[in-house]
Amino acid sequence: MGAGKSTVGAEVARRLDRPFVDVDEELERETASPIGDLFVERGEPAFRELEENVTVEVLADAMPSVVALGGGAVTSDRVRDSLSDAALTVWMQVDVETAWQRAAGPRRPLAQDEEKFRRLYGEREPVYQAVADASAADADNVVLAAGGVHLETGALARLGTLVAGDGPVALVSDPRVAGIHGADAQLALGDRLASTHELPHGEAAKTTAACEALWQELRLDRSGTIVALGGGCTTDAAGFAAAAYLRGIPWSPVPTTLVGQVDAAIGGKTALNLPGGKNLVGAFHWPVRTVIDPLLLATLPADERRAGLAEVVKTGLLAGEPLWELPEAELVRRCAAFKTALCVRDPLDRGERAILNLGHTFAHALEAAASFHEIGHGEAVALGLLAALRLSGLDTAQVEDTLAPKPVRVDAERAWEALRRDKKSANGRIRLVLLDAPGRPRWPAEVPEQDVRRALEGIIAA
């Protein structure tokens, strides 16, 4: 009681585009009586039976939804079995002082006596803990749990328990990350660690040759899991390797860069590059769990932090909030929750998830023109955002002040050909993500080719 389940549940349902069901409201609708009256008039045993029947019925519905349970619902064996079979269960944690302040009053029969209330809190807490798949304090954390994202400071030390399943693990990283975090990851995986593997650093990991070399080394069976420890290139390549190996085995990304933690490791997109374009070969292969530890950013070089900040600015422009001004750990959480909600709503990128491409059509063109090694992804995204805002007719000060992008030297014709081959194009027409205003993305936006080319040339040095 007083944890905010109904308020948070309704907000989560809105973000995930799911129906919202409040079991207390269902009880009141079916009996035409307020919850308090039902509890007093029929007694707690009869009330619990009614609550149990309604809860089990709601959980049996095949339609994915967000359900707010009554505070005592999980004391029922039937309800716990139904949750285990059909639901991701999130425990909305609240301290007893706050719960009492919110719940005390005549409307709640079990919140009349503070001493009894505190005792009930203590009795129920271990039940909540046992039944929960995740815990949360607000809607952002519930959304992360719904998308299989575990965000916790110090999570790397618990990696062995956070990687789902109990089968063997192949740890994949690049030489730089392996030297910094590899030993800690291996120690945390313990007896589950079956093998370690290295991909080349950066975009060189996202080649068919690098992926084939990894496939040749792997000795996992289908009970095994690939854990990808590193930046976005490592998680992209290792995720694709997992998608294709033995026709698909589980994987868990553990992003070590800001780009990875706010964007690349979330949502199940995996990909390799081809000479003609970025991410042209890939698969949707959702991780069994994404493990994000903001502590890993402490060793991040300044240039990689700037690269990640470009994705943060992109997310802030889409959300209509200056997320880049938040403290780092909160910045990661808010950006990760925004992307997770969007990916849950559109898991296969057939609709609104395309808005995450803001600035990236231009960025990928620059990267392809630079053969994927002369320009950093963050630098390219910053320039892409600049081009997208100019085409949108919006002020570019937020991008310029925060990211300070400078035009880059690449072959303009090669960049233009790569842009026209972008995977978001349709029927030979370039489709962009633009903004009517911060927080109001427009997709698909088709503008005259000469305007698109002019915007591209505006971010290429003469």
The pTM assigned to this predicted structure is 0.92
- For residue 386, the tally of other CB atoms under 10 A from its CB is 22
Where do the domains of the chain lie, and which CATH numbers do they carry? 5-140 (3.40.50.300), 149-300 (3.40.50.1970), 308-462 (1.20.1090.10)
pLDDT at 112: 85
Question: By percentage, how much of the chain surpasses pLDDT 90?
Answer: 84
**134-136 and 90-92 beta bridge pairing:** parallel
Q: What is the pLDDT of residues 427-444, one digit of tens each?
A: 678 889 999 999 999 999
Cβ atoms of 148 and 286 closer than 8 Å: yes
Which H, E and C letters describe 106-152, residue by residue? CCCHHHCCHHHHHHHHHHHHHHHHHHCCEEECCHHHHHHHHCCEEEC
The low-confidence residues of the chain, meaning pLDDT below 70, are 423, 426-427
Q: What are phi and psi of 19, to 5 degrees?
A: -65, 150
**Beta strand pairing call for 432-437 and 440-445:** antiparallel
Three-class secondary structure of residue 436 per DSSP: strand
pLDDT of residue 427: 67
Q: What is the pLDDT of residues 68-105, one digit of tens each?
A: 999 999 999 999 999 999 999 999 999 999 999 999 88
Per-residue pLDDT tens digits for 375-422 = 888 999 999 999 999 999 999 999 999 999 999 999 999 999 999 887
**Res 423: pLDDT:** 65
pLDDT for 98 equals 94
Cα dihedral across residues 180, 181, 187, 192: positive or negative: negative
